[in-house]
Chains A and B, each alone.
Chain A
Amino acid sequence: MSQPTLTDVSLNPTLERLKQLAQLEPDWDSYGAEQVSSVALVAAFEILVTVKEQLSNQVREPLPSFVAPLADGGLQLEWSSSLLDIEVEIGPGGDFSYVLIQGQGTNRKFEEKHQVSLDEVLNLLSQVLII
C-alpha cells in the first residue's frame, strides 16, 4: 500500500487540536501557565499549511504526531519516526526553535537551535520527513 500523500491528508485533525488549545484558560497546567498566544497559533497554522503546500508528495508523515501547549504561551509541534523525533517550538511571540533527536535510549543525540527562520524549519522538516 502506498503512503498517503499530502494531497490526501487532511489538516483538519491538527487544526481541531489548535482550536482546542486556543481555548485553554490561564493556569491550564496548574502551575501558572499562560494561555496560548494568538501569534503562536497563527504561526503553527502557517507551518502546517506550508508543509502541506510545499512538501506535497515528498513527506512521509506530514502532520505532527502531537501538538502541545507550552507554559509561556507558545506551542510545540512534534513529529516522530522510527529514526528520529523533531520538536518545533513556537514561542508566544512567534519565534521558532527546534530540537532534533536521533537514535534511541542512551544513544540519543540531540541537536538544538533557537531563533531560526520559518524557512529553516521547513527545510529541516523536508530533510527529515521525506520519503
Chain B
Amino acid sequence: MSEEIAELEEIADNDRLYRRLSINSHINPKTGKVSSAAFKRNKKPENSISVDLARLTTPQETLDRVGDRKNHFVLGVLVAGDARSIGFSVRHDPILPENPAHSLIEGQNDGEKCSRLAEATTILSPPA
C-alpha cells in the first residue's frame, strides 16, 4: 500500500490558523470572549494544539470535519506570528488524506500563554 507524502508548508508569521471552538464550552456567553480553557493541555501529546492552516482549507471545510456536530462549533482564527510571539512554535503537520491543512501550535504551555492565545483569537462570523 502506498502512503501519501505531503509536502510540508513553511508557515509564515502572517498565516492564519483555524481552530474549532465549542460554542457551549469555550465561549463565555456573558462576554463573548474565548476562554483560555480552549487552549489548555491535552494528552495527545502534551502541549500540542491542533489547528488548520487557513490557506490550505476553507472555514467550511474545517467545520465540516466534525460532521453533524458542526453547529456546536464556531471557528477561532489565530495569526501564526501571534502564537510565536507568545512563545510557541507553529508547524505544518498534514494528516493525509483527511486533513492536508493540519498544523500544530507546540511548546511549553502555561496559564498565561493560554490566556494570551485566547485573547489573540478572533471568532470568525458565520456567513449570512
- A, B assembled together: yes
Residues in B whose Cβ lies below 8 Å from that of A124: none
In the assembled complex, the CB of A87 is this many whole angstroms from the nearest CB of chain B, namely 6
In the assembled complex, the CB of A112 is this many whole angstroms from the nearest CB of chain B, namely 5
Cβ of B37 and Cβ of A33 under 8 Å apart? no
Tell whether A99 is near chain B: CB-to-CB under 8 Å.
Answer: yes
Tell whether A49 is near chain B: CB-to-CB under 8 Å.
Answer: no
- A112 interface neighbour in B24, B38, B41, B110, Cβ under 8 Å: B110
Tell whether A76 is near chain B: CB-to-CB under 8 Å.
Answer: yes
Cβ of B65 and Cβ of A87 under 8 Å apart? no
Q: How far is the CA of A30 from the CA of B102 in the complex (A)?
A: 13
Q: How far is the CA of A66 from the CA of B36 in the complex (A)?
A: 11
Which residue from chain A places its CB closest to the CB of B19 in the assembled complex?
Answer: A31
Interface size, A (range): 20 to 34
In the assembled complex, the CB of B73 is this many whole angstroms from the nearest CB of chain A, namely 7
Residues in B whose Cβ lies below 8 Å from that of A65: 28, 30-31
Which residue from chain B places its CB closest to the CB of A69 in the assembled complex?
Answer: B25
In the assembled complex, the CB of A68 is this many whole angstroms from the nearest CB of chain B, namely 4
Cβ of A30 and Cβ of B73 under 8 Å apart? yes
Q: How far is the CA of A110 from the CA of B110 in the complex (A)?
A: 11
Cβ of A30 and Cβ of B20 under 8 Å apart? yes
Interface string of A112-128 (1 = CB under 8 A from B): 10000000000000000
Cβ of A101 and Cβ of B115 under 8 Å apart? yes
Residues in A whose Cβ lies below 8 Å from that of B20: 29-31
B residues adjacent to A (C-beta < 8 A)? 20, 22, 24-26, 28-31, 35-38, 40-44, 50, 65-66, 69, 73, 110-112, 115
A residues adjacent to B (C-beta < 8 A)? 20-21, 24, 28-34, 65-66, 68-72, 76, 78, 80, 87, 89, 97, 99, 101, 110, 112
Question: Contacts A99-B36, A99-B111 given; 7 further ones with Cβ under 8 A?
Answer: A70-B37, A70-B41, A71-B40, A76-B37, A89-B40, A110-B115, A112-B112
